């Protein structure tokens, strides 16, 4: 049995999924910041002569960078968001002539 959703329900679902994606991203970013500070302090307290804390932060930072591109750039749903923007522009232009 197929369930039909109205437009409002579809838009809510899309918005809810986007909110979950953003929550995951900001959680990941927050954890990265906390651990960056932790590794810096740990490195400072244990061995001031040899700075190693930036190596794990560099690798993790690259992962955050890729996640940023996915969430805010060309990730899942980018085509849908871009198509929606194009449709909105088209509707705005056509309303001018009505």
Taking the C-alpha atoms of residue 43 and residue 54, their distance in angstroms, rounded to an integer, is 10
pLDDT tens for residues 31-61?
A: 999 999 999 999 999 998 999 999 999 999 9
Per-residue pLDDT of 63-77, as tens digits, reads 999 999 988 887 667
What's the rounded Cα separation, in Å, for the pair 17 and 74?
16
Query: Per-residue DSSP letters for 3-19?
Result: PP--HHHHHHHHHHHHH
Question: Does 36 map to a domain?
Answer: yes
Q: Considering the domain boundaries, does residue 1 fall inside one?
A: no
CA 10, distance to chain mean position in Å, is 21
In this predicted structure, what is the pLDDT of residue 62? Answer: 96
The reply to whether 64 falls in a domain is yes
The verdict on residue 81 lying in a domain is no
Cβ atoms of 60 and 35 closer than 8 Å: yes
Kindly state whether residue 78 falls inside one of the protein's structural domains.
Answer: no
CA gap 14, 94 in Å, rounded: 26
Identify the pLDDT of residue 76. Answer: 60
Check whether 2 has a pLDDT greater than 60: no
Question: For residue 52, what pLDDT is reported?
Answer: 93
Count how many domains the chain has: 1
């Amino acid at each position: 049995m197929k369930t039909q959703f109205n437009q409002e329900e579809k838009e809510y679902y899309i918005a809810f999924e986007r909110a979950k994606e953003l929550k995951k991203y900001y959680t990941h970013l927050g954890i990265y910041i906390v651990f960056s500070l932790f590794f810096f302090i740990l490195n400072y307290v244990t061995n001031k002569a040899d700075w190693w804390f930036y190596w794990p932060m560099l690798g993790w930072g690259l992962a955050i960078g890729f996640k940023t591109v996915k969430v805010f750039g060309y990730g899942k749903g980018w085509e849908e968001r871009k198509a929606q923007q194009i449709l909105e522009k088209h509707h705005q232009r056509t309303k001018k002539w009505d």
